Structure 1
Amino acid sequence: MKMLVVDTEREEALNLQIEFEWVLRQEVHAILKQLRTILVECAHRFPVPLYDNEGKKTEKFILSVSPDQLKAVLTLTGDAITQADISFKLCKAPSQTQRTSITHDSPWKLQQVQDAANHLQTAINHIDDVDDSYHFKTSDEVLHVIGNILDALQRGRNSLLVPKKKPIEELIKGRNMKSLVPNLPEDLAVSFYLQSHKLIIAVYQLLNNQGTMQFDSRQAEIGVQWLSDVLLLLMNGQKLCQQLKDKISVFSVYKDFTVGSRSPSALSY
């Protein structure tokens, strides 16, 4: 009976080894190819040059908060606001309207777009490094590649989902503020940024309240279709990576599993 149990265990381990080799030789590459298709489709949605995508797509948007508290009529070209007319009312002088603009001569750069595109490019590069001619030998090797891809995709999503927070003093002195014509007073700052599928404009006013510096803010937002598409495709890519990672993790328990080690006596179980 004991010998029968041992033989059964060895047979199960051998069958698992055979499945492991098939997964590494066939299924991993099939899933990576499917993942690459998703990510290249994602790249084509970006408004910047990426994987035969011409970029420089031009869209017009109107962001506003009633009644006439804040309004921006702008043109987004690629990863930059190339034209905008901005008007807003001040907290300390609500009857006054402040106006400024952005012109083609000095566009406002949305660095989040290029950052996300760069991380997407990195993820695709990790796939291209292990094309069909590459032979995986261990589960750890696959997990390392998948980990790199997942990390790049998460960074790409975070670039769009979580804008970097800056102190108002840094915003006031920021490079993009020099794009505004005419320049704003030194107690005012304008910020354009992406958050999830939305383009947002925020206006900040620095206030001196009995010696304590505070700030007031207003913001307006609008949905951007390509952002929704990109975030969905990135999420689909992450899900596919996670499914492959979970499957490979089952084999990683068997530390002696490598391609070509199909000898039952050499297996640990």
Structure 2
Amino acid sequence: MDGTNKVLAIENLRQEFKWLIKNEVHKVFGQLKEILDAAARRYPVEIPELETQVRQEKYVMATSTQTSQDQLKCILTITGDSITAADMTLKLHKHPNVVYHTMIAADSPWRLQQIQDSGNYLRMALCSLVSIPENLEYVSADEVLTDLDRVLEKICRARNTLAIPRKRTIDELMNSKNMKTLSPALPSDLAVSFYLQAHKLIFAVYHLTQAGGTVKFETLQSESPVTWLNEVLVLLSVALHRAQQLRDKISNKLGGFYTLAILLRNK
């Protein structure tokens, strides 16, 4: 390949790259705004600068296959990101004749921090997109990837916060501020937890026992599907996929450009 053709090949790749940045980047950013706006409207909490409002929803928890119906009963109301009412009845395998009953009241709600945290990450992703002028002319791939990666990270955090709850130790569960919202308080060898996982709300009970100096615990669990949560996770997954597609296109074009430049230089 002579010098003229080398220059033409590199120039063609450069033009393809410029076309991609000019015609695809802001188009995808606009699509991401629409998708994230749609996701934000489904959150049951107020998200600053977005059209959201606090909603109240009632759930009747259904026991899992490992837990019988008479062992665990729970009816609760969630207002925004807090459980503002709950009525719980527990029976343990080792004490089948003992029934534990406790409640959560509106004056001492149980916070579901995952909802607020996820909403905050979503807001940050949208703020990052809004801060990019629609007429901004990117001149390099690095500039695009910097903005895109900032948005991608926040969307990923918003999704994972809801889909994959942080694992907590038994000590963390026992000493949680939320445990103090229960009335009457449960015995010291019992802890309960509410959390979101994938498209479900989970209610878990942990019973601690000691045998030979080893601490063990038995777990009972019930759950309920959460409609808005499923819709939000789908929308966030779509946004992640669309953003990653754009990132791959840019990276592939950039990689192809550098590869060709090196090959031509070595000939």
Is TM-score (shorter-chain normalized) higher than 0.5?
yes
Q: How many matched pairs?
A: 256
Say whether the 8 Å CA contact 1:140–1:252 is kept in structure 2. no
Counterpart for residue 84 of structure 1: 86
The question of whether the paired residues in 1 share the 8 Å contact of 2:40 and 2:52 is answered with no
SS at match of 2:61: strand
* Mapped contact 2:195–2:203 kept (Cα < 8 A): yes
Matched AA of 2:242: L
Structure 2 residue 64 is the aligned partner of structure 1 residue 62: no
| Counterpart residue type for residue 178 of structure 1 | K
Provide the C-alpha distance between the structure 2 equivalents of 1:251 and 1:213, rounded to a whole number of angstroms: 56
Alignment-derived partner of residue 249 in structure 1: 251
Runs (4+) off by over 6 Å: none
Q: Residue 251 of structure 1: SS of its match in structure 2?
A: helix
The residue type paired with residue 111 of structure 1 is Q
1:26-66 deviation digits (Å, cap 9, x = unpaired) = 32111111111111111111111125333211111111333
Aligned to 2:22: 25
Where in structure 1 are there 5+ consecutive unaligned residues?
A: 256-266
Distance in 2 (CA, whole Å) between partners of 1:142 and 1:222 is: 41
Identity of counterpart residues, as a percentage?
42
Distance 1:112 1:221 in 2: 16
Q: CA deviation at 1:97?
A: 1.0
Q: Deviations over 1:97-123 (max 9, x none)?
A: 100000100110000111111111121
8 Å contact 1:75–1:81 — kept in the other structure? yes
Q: Counterparts in 2 of 1:157-176, with a 5 A limit?
A: 157-176=159-178
Instruction: Name the counterpart of 2:219.
Output: 217
Which of 103, 107, 110 matches 2:109?
107
Give me the whole-angstrom Cα distance separating, in 2, the residues matched to 1:53 and 1:98. Answer: 42
Amino acid at match of 1:85: D
* Alignment match of 2:135 (pick from 127, 130, 133): 133
| CA–CA separation in structure 2 for the residues paired with 1:129 and 1:119 | 15
Contact 1:83 1:102 in 2 (8 A): yes
Distance in 2 (CA, whole Å) between partners of 1:196 and 1:157 is 9
Note if contact 2:81-2:112 (Cα within 8 Å) is conserved in structure 1: yes
User: Is the 2:43–2:52 Cα contact (8 Å) retained in structure 1?
Assistant: no
TM-score normalised to structure 2 length: 0.90
Q: Is 1:36 aligned with 2:33? A: yes
Q: Pick the aligned partner of 1:11 from 8, 11, 36.
A: 8
The separation in 2 between residues aligned to 1:109 and 1:161, in whole angstroms, is 17
Q: C-alpha distance in 2, partners of 1:246/1:46? A: 30
CA distance in 2, matches of 1:74, 1:97: 19
Q: CA deviation at 1:268?
A: 7.7
User: Which of residues 31, 46, 49 is equivalent to 2:46?
Assistant: 49
